[in-house]
């Protein structure tokens, strides 16, 4: 038997230069192994000897698949050059097969060791990962290893910890043995009809030594309770309904469940329309059939409140996966879900790779959220991968948002997705009214207009809560010399330093470098330094001056640093300990603030004039999402936007006709300009500490791309362009944008390009990566 193995070795995607001390394997092409250096694949011979590999090896020694014909998806240790590395078996063949260029694989090596006795990835996940590797042009070896939970990357056993427990043996004449054992008899009696865990006994005050003495007499034995647990499907699943669905909600549920197999649904429902209630009802149908549900949410929405809503509803095992969990917790959740012992998984982006034993449904809440996109290393979009996965598993996938991405709305337009609209807020809450404040006519105190201050005061007098959002943390984004105009900027980036009063530092928001607060200008020596602009810290202090008796809470990345702090603040807000809430866009996401009746958005103008063609889509989503935090209960809400362009066509359209009208308008604009999602983009991102070698390299890549594109009439390639921040983290960044009308054409082009990458010179310190379907172009 011959195996193809995806190995955990770093190899570059397009181009990377290694300094002698960096260990980049491809450059040291491991001799002797049949190693495909563009993919990170190794071809190995199965070392299990049919004579000795009789499956009798004890569990403790683990290695060796239980059934040698199913090695696909198991981890193995394989030789690559002189090293031993972990890999995942991705195919099994009777012959060694041939390499890409057709030459036979004649240097097949033997597997050193099997790590797993059962696959860690099932065949759907293997297909998904191979699809992703080919679509994103990322080496399969690295794709497989970024999909594994951290502990499985280093060869730890894929096993759940045992739950120690006890049960009776069928011993005769126990009475005789129990005489004079008071605690022992108590333990014995408890085990009459059931087995109990070591923890249960501890809770009853029965010590381990009591149990051990019964064990010695042969009366009870140690067991692993995990193996005795009956599957959740066999238990009585209770479901607690909080409300009766309204008509729109029931229609959505029946429309989705009436279609079987793979289908993509987009629930386009205004904020507060009760999308979660729809998900819960869909999940109910799925788990009553004994199948599993996977729910993906943005990182910031995975709060205990979200999870508890699921627990209150269903008495089934539920697991969570997010980056704040320990490696052990993540592995346990991965294993419980993949072996089918958990019914529901609630997770962030990377949870999309968790196998399901009984695939039922995938739900992506807030599908427009940018956190579903991985922005470095293996760049992928979890929403897109989830859709591919649902197709492979032939199950429905439901995307939900009040502000769907233009990508999803376009897919609705061309008939790929089924759209379901929820137009009314559940439970009779009224939509908030959006009103621009014309800043040209206002008296402004440190960024706050009089109109906004007056409205805040009025709401507080009614004992309501107000939420003020400014998408910039810190105290002030700029510090300038009043005498010579010198602006303090980062040594590593083309960026101004932001003044953080709380932490008493200047901070670069792009590379996180800190600088001491200066007392003098380094150019002219003047001590007349002034700050300009406004951040959330300053906004908070300004509101404290205007409302000295109010308790104010600030929510941004500086105030919410430790785990649990955000939850605590949200709790305090719900208890109305604070009536003024200040923060960044962290506030716009998903949280429910029923007592908030006024939302103020401080600065929207920079997004209105941005060069990035996606900035208006993002701004519209932000305005609608943050507006959705207001007026969730019976109190009516109001949203005030501070702007110098109250008559901006985007704002007028959004306010008058809503997000859908805005999105349709934006789509036709993108069509005219031939921009995504009507076309598809790939960006080649290059970076280097030397501007000179980077621009040489990017020119070279550009010419190669043009040459390759000769065979593809519909590929358009733009000359290298500086990134929005050209110098960042002490490296220069240049991009080449390629566009195609169809994905198929783009894929063929990229494949042809990657095949010719060896023609590129390796210039000192340069790197270049391929970013397919980027969410940020420049």
Query: Which helix H or strand E contains 336, and what residues bound it?
Result: helix 327-338
**530 vs 706 by CB, closer to Zn ion:** 530
**Hunting for tokens 């695939």 — which residue is that?**
359
Provide DSSP, 444-489.
Answer: EETTEEHHHHHHHHHHHHTT-EEEEE-S--SSBSEEEETTT--B-B
Q: Which does 273 bind (CB under 5 to 8 A by kind): Zn ion, ligand ADP, none?
A: ligand ADP
**142 vs 248 by CB, closer to ligand ADP:** 248
- DSSP structure class, residue 104: B
**484 touching Zn ion, by CB under 5 A:** yes
**277 vs 558 by CB, closer to ligand ADP:** 277
**Residue 373 burial class via C-beta count within 10 angstroms: exposed 0-12, middle 13-18, buried 19 and up:** middle
**249 vs 496 by CB, closer to ligand ADP:** 249
Quote the least distance from Cβ 318 to ligand ADP, whole Å.
18
Tell me the CA distances in angstroms from 482 to 214, 322, 519, 528, one per residue in order.
84, 47, 12, 5
Q: Which does 492 bind (CB under 5 to 8 A by kind): Zn ion, ligand ADP, none?
A: Zn ion
Quote the least distance from Cβ 254 to ligand ADP, whole Å.
15
Name the β-bridge partners of 77.
86, 113
Q: Which does 426 bind (CB under 5 to 8 A by kind): ligand ADP, Zn ion, none?
A: ligand ADP
Q: Which does 484 bind (CB under 5 to 8 A by kind): ligand ADP, Zn ion, none?
A: Zn ion
Interaction pattern, residues 513-552, with Zn ion; x per rule: CB under 5 A: x-------x-xx-x--------------------------
Quote the least distance from Cβ 427 to ligand ADP, whole Å.
3
Q: Which does 292 bind (CB under 5 to 8 A by kind): ligand ADP, Zn ion, none?
A: none
**508 touching Zn ion, by CB under 5 A:** yes
Quote the least distance from Cβ 569 to ligand ADP, whole Å.
19
Q: Which does 275 bind (CB under 5 to 8 A by kind): Zn ion, ligand ADP, none?
A: ligand ADP
- Cis bond upstream, residue 596 (ω within 30): no
Tell me the CA distances in angstroms from 494 to 530, 568, 729, one per residue in order.
20, 37, 9
**Candidate segments 470-478, 485-493, 543-551, 591-599, binder of Zn ion by CB under 5 A:** 485-493
**210 vs 422 by CB, closer to ligand ADP:** 422
- 741 token code pair: 């009308």
Distance linking the first and last C-alpha atoms of the chain = 48
Q: Which does 523 bind (CB under 5 to 8 A by kind): Zn ion, ligand ADP, none?
A: Zn ion
Q: What are the residues binding ligand ADP (CB under 6 A)?
A: 243, 245-246, 249, 269, 271-277, 426-427, 592
**507 touching Zn ion, by CB under 5 A:** no
Cα separation, 367 vs 346, whole angstroms: 14
**501 touching Zn ion, by CB under 5 A:** no
- Spatial CA neighbour of 15 closest among 765, 777, 772, 774: 765
**442 vs 726 by CB, closer to Zn ion:** 726
Which segments within 612-666 are labelled E, that is strand?
638-643
Q: Which does 703 bind (CB under 5 to 8 A by kind): ligand ADP, Zn ion, none?
A: none
Q: Which does 493 bind (CB under 5 to 8 A by kind): ligand ADP, Zn ion, none?
A: Zn ion
Dihedral angle of Cα 571, 575, 576, 577, to the nearest 10 degrees: -70
**Candidate segments 151-159, 196-204, 285-293, 502-510, binder of Zn ion by CB under 5 A:** 502-510
**339 vs 483 by CB, closer to Zn ion:** 483
Strands 478-481 and 514-516 turn out to be unpaired
Tell me the CA distances in angstroms from 287 to 232, 234, 363, 469, one per residue in order.
9, 11, 14, 40
**479 touching Zn ion, by CB under 5 A:** no
By residue count, the chain amounts to 778
Please give the residue ranges that form the binding site for Zn ion (CB under 5 A): 481, 483-484, 486, 490, 492-493, 508, 510-511, 513, 521, 523-524, 526
């Amino acid at each position: 038997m011959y195996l193809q193995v995806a190995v955990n070795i770093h190899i570059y995607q397009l181009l990377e230069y290694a300094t002698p001390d960096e260990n980049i394997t491809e450059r040291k092409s491991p001799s002797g192994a049949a190693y495909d250096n563009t993919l990170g694949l190794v071809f190995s011979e199965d070392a299990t000897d049919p004579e000795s590999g009789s499956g009798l090896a004890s569990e403790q020694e683990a290695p060796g698949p239980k059934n040698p014909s199913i090695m696909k998806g198991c981890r193995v240790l394989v030789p690559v050059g002189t090293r031993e590395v972990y890999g995942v078996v991705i195919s099994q063949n009777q012959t060694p097969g041939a390499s890409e260029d057709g030459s036979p694989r004649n240097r097949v090596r033997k597997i050193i060791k099997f790590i797993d006795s059962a696959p860690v990835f099932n065949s759907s996940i293997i297909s998904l990962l191979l699809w992703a590797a080919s679509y994103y042009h990322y080496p399969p070896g690295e794709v497989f290893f970024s999909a594994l939970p951290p502990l499985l990357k280093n060869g730890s056993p894929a096993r759940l910890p045992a739950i120690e427990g006890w049960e009776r043996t069928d011993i005769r004449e126990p009475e005789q043995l129990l005489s004079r054992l008071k605690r022992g008899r108590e333990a014995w009696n408890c085990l009459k009809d059931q087995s109990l865990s070591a923890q249960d006994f501890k809770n009853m005050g029965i010590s381990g030594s009591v149990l051990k003495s019964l064990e010695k007499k042969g009366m009870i034995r140690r067991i692993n309770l995990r193996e005795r647990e009956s599957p959740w499907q066999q238990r009585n699943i209770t479901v607690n309904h909080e409300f009766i669905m309204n008509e729109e909600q029931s229609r959505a549920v029946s429309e989705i469940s009436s279609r079987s197999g793979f289908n993509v649904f987009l629930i386009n429902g205004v904020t507060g329309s009760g999308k979660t209630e729809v998900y819960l009802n869909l999940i109910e149908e799925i788990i009553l059939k004994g199948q599993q549900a996977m729910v993906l949410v943005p990182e910031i929405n995975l709060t205990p409140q979200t999870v508890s809503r699921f627990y209150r509803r269903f008495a089934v095992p539920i697991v969570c996966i997010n980056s704040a969990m320990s490696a052990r917790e993540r592995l346990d959740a991965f294993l419980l879900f993949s072996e089918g012992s958990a019914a529901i998984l609630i997770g962030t982006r990377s949870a999309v790779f968790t196998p399901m034993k009984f695939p039922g449904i995938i739900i992506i809440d807030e599908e427009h959220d940018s956190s579903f996109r991985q922005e470095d290393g293996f760049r992928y979009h979890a929403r897109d991968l989830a859709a591919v996965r649902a197709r492979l598993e032939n199950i429905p996938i439901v995307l939900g948002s009040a502000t769907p991405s233009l990508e999803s709305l376009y897919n609705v337009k061309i008939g790929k997705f089924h759209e379901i609209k929820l137009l009314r807020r559940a439970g009779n809450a009224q939509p908030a009214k959006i009103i621009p404040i014309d800043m040209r006519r206002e008296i402004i105190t440190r960024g706050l207009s009089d109109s906004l201050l007056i409205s805040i005061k009025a709401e507080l007098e009614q004992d309501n809560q107000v939420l003020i959002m400014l998408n910039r943390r810190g105290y002030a984004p700029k510090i300038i010399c009043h005498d010579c105009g010198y602006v303090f900027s980062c040594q590593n980036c083309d960026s101004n330093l932001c003044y953080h009063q709380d932490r008493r530092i200047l901070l670069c928001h792009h590379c996180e470098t800190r600088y001491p607060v200066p007392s003098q200008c380094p150019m002219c020596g003047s001590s007349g330094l002034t700050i300009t602009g406004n951040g959330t810290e300053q906004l908070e202090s300004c509101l404290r001056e205007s409302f000295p008796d109010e308790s104010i809470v600030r929510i941004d990345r500086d105030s919410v640093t430790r785990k649990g702090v955000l939850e605590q603040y949200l709790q305090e807000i719900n208890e109305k300990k604070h009536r003024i809430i200040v923060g960044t866009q962290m506030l716009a996401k998903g949280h429910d603030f029923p007592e908030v009746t006024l939302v103020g958005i401080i600065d929207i103008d920079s997004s209105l004039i941005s060069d990035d063609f996606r900035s208006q889509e993002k701004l519209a989503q932000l305005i609608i999402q943050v507006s959705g935090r207001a007026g969730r209960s019976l109190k009516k809400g109001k949203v005030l936007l501070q702007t110098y362009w109250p008559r901006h066509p985007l704002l007028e359209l959004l306010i008058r006709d809503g997000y859908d009208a805005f999105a349709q308008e934006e789509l036709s604009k993108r069509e005219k300009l031939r921009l995504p999602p009507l076309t598809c983009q790939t960006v080649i991102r290059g970076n280097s500490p030397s501007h000179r070698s980077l621009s040489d390299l990017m020119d070279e890549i550009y010419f190669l791309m043009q040459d390759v594109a000769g065979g593809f009439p519909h590929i358009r390639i733009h000359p290298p362009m500086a990134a929005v921040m050209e110098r960042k983290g002490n490296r220069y960044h240049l991009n080449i944008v390629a566009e195609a009308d169809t994905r198929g054409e783009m894929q063929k082009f990229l494949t042809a390009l990657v095949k010719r990458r060896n023609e590129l010179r390796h210039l000192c310190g340069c790197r270049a990566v391929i970013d397919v379907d980027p969410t940020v172009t420049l």
